[in-house]
Chains A and B, each alone.
Chain A
Amino acid sequence: MILAVTSAFLGALLAPLVYRWLGQLAGWGLALLPLGLTVYFASLLPTVVAGETVRHSAAWVPTLSVNFSFYLDGLSLLFALLITGIGTFIVIYTGGYLKGHPDLGRFYMTILLFMASMLGLVLADNIVTLFVMWELTSLTSYLLIGFNHTEFRSRRAATQALFVTAGGGLALLAGLVLLAGMGGSWEISELLAKGEVLRAHPWYLGALVLVLVGAFTKSAQFPFHFWLPNAMEAPTPVSAYLHSATMVKAGVYLLARLQPALGGTEVWSSTLMAFGLATLLTGATLTFRHTDLKRLLAYSTVAALGALVFAIGLVPLTSYYGAVGFATFLLAHSLYKGGLFMAAGAVDHEAGTRDINQLSGLFRVMPITGVAVGLSALSLAGLPPVLGFIGKEVLYLAALQAAPAWIIGLAVLGFAVGATLALILTVPFFRGQPPTGVHEGPPSLWLGPVVLAGLGLLVGLFPGLYNPLADAVASAVKGAPTSYHLKLWPGFNPALLLSLLTVAVGVGLYFVYPRLQAWMAQDPLPGPENAYVALLRGLLRLAARLEQTLQSGSLRAYLVWVFAGLSGLVGLALWRGGPFRWPGETSALSPAQLVLVALMLLGGLLVLRLRSHLAMVVVAGIVGAGVALLFLLQNAPDLSITQFLVETLTAILIALVLLQIRNIGEVPRGRWLDKLVALLFGGLVTVLMLGMLSEPIELHLTQFFAEKSLPEGFGRNIVNVILVDFRGLDTFGEITVVGLAGLGVYALLKRLRREEKP
Chain B
Amino acid sequence: MNTLILKTTSRFLFTLLLLLSVFLLLRGHNEPGGGFIGALVAVGAYALFALAHGLTAARKLLPLPPLRLVGWGLLVALLSALVAFFLNKPLMTGVWFSLLGVKVGTPVIFDIGVYLTVFGALLSAIFGLEETADRTPEEAP
Residues in chain A within 8 A of chain B (CB atoms):
637-638, 641-642, 645-646, 648-649, 652-653, 656-657, 659-660, 662, 712-717, 719-721, 723-725, 728-729, 731-732, 735-736, 738-739, 741-743, 745-746, 749, 752, 756
- Is A717 a contact partner of B31 (Cβ separation < 8 A)? yes
Contacts A/B (CB < 8 Å), 28 sampled? A641-B33, A645-B41, A648-B44, A649-B44, A653-B129, A656-B130, A662-B140, A714-B96, A715-B29, A716-B29, A717-B29, A717-B34, A720-B28, A724-B35, A724-B107, A728-B110, A732-B81, A732-B92, A735-B74, A735-B114, A738-B118, A741-B125, A742-B120, A743-B70, A743-B121, A745-B128, A746-B67, A756-B139
> Taking each of A715, A724, A732, which has the highest tally of chain B beta carbons within 10 Å of its own beta carbon?
A724
Q: Which residue of B lies closest to A636 (CB)?
A: B32
Interchain CA distance A306-B120 in the complex, whole Å: 59
Smallest CB–CB gap between A597 and chain B, Å? 23
Smallest CB–CB gap between B45 and chain A, Å? 11
- Is A713 a contact partner of B94 (Cβ separation < 8 A)? yes
- Is A735 a contact partner of B118 (Cβ separation < 8 A)? yes
Smallest CB–CB gap between B131 and chain A, Å? 7
- Is B133 a contact partner of A656 (Cβ separation < 8 A)? yes
Q: Which residue of A lies closest to B116 (CB)?
A: A735
- Is B114 a contact partner of A724 (Cβ separation < 8 A)? yes
Interchain CA distance A662-B67 in the complex, whole Å: 29
- Is B30 a contact partner of A742 (Cβ separation < 8 A)? no
Interchain CA distance A662-B137 in the complex, whole Å: 11
Number of B interface residues at 8 Å Cβ cutoff, please give it: 55
In the bound complex, residues from chain B placing their C-beta under 8 Å from that of A656 are: 126, 129-130, 133
Smallest CB–CB gap between B87 and chain A, Å? 16
- Is B133 a contact partner of A659 (Cβ separation < 8 A)? yes
In the bound complex, residues from chain A placing their C-beta under 8 Å from that of B128 are: 745-746, 749
> Taking each of A642, A645, A713, A738, which has the highest tally of chain B beta carbons within 10 Å of its own beta carbon?
A738
Task: Determine the main DSSP class of A at the interface with B.
Answer: helix
In the bound complex, residues from chain B placing their C-beta under 8 Å from that of A713 are: 94, 107
- Is A741 a contact partner of B37 (Cβ separation < 8 A)? no
- Is A645 a contact partner of B66 (Cβ separation < 8 A)? no
Interchain CA distance A735-B116 in the complex, whole Å: 10
Q: Which residue of B lies closest to A727 (CB)?
A: B92
Interchain CA distance A719-B131 in the complex, whole Å: 36
- Is B29 a contact partner of A742 (Cβ separation < 8 A)? no
Smallest CB–CB gap between B46 and chain A, Å? 11
- Is B107 a contact partner of A739 (Cβ separation < 8 A)? no
In the bound complex, residues from chain B placing their C-beta under 8 Å from that of A742 are: 66-67, 70, 120-122, 124-125
- Is A652 a contact partner of B35 (Cβ separation < 8 A)? no
In the bound complex, residues from chain A placing their C-beta under 8 Å from that of B32 are: 637-638, 641, 717
Other contacts beyond A724-B34, A742-B125, A743-B121: 6, CB < 8 A: A649-B40, A649-B47, A649-B122, A721-B107, A735-B118, A749-B132
Q: B10 interface residue, CB < 8 Å from A?
A: no
Q: Which residue of A lies closest to B92 (CB)?
A: A728
Chain B 1-50 interface residues, beta-carbon cutoff 8 Å to A: 24, 28-37, 40-41, 43-44, 47
Interchain CA distance A749-B126 in the complex, whole Å: 11
Smallest CB–CB gap between B124 and chain A, Å? 5
Smallest CB–CB gap between A54 and chain B, Å? 30
In the bound complex, residues from chain A placing their C-beta under 8 Å from that of B96 are: 714
> Taking each of B120, B125, B131, B133, which has the highest tally of chain A beta carbons within 10 Å of its own beta carbon?
B125
- Is B117 a contact partner of A720 (Cβ separation < 8 A)? no
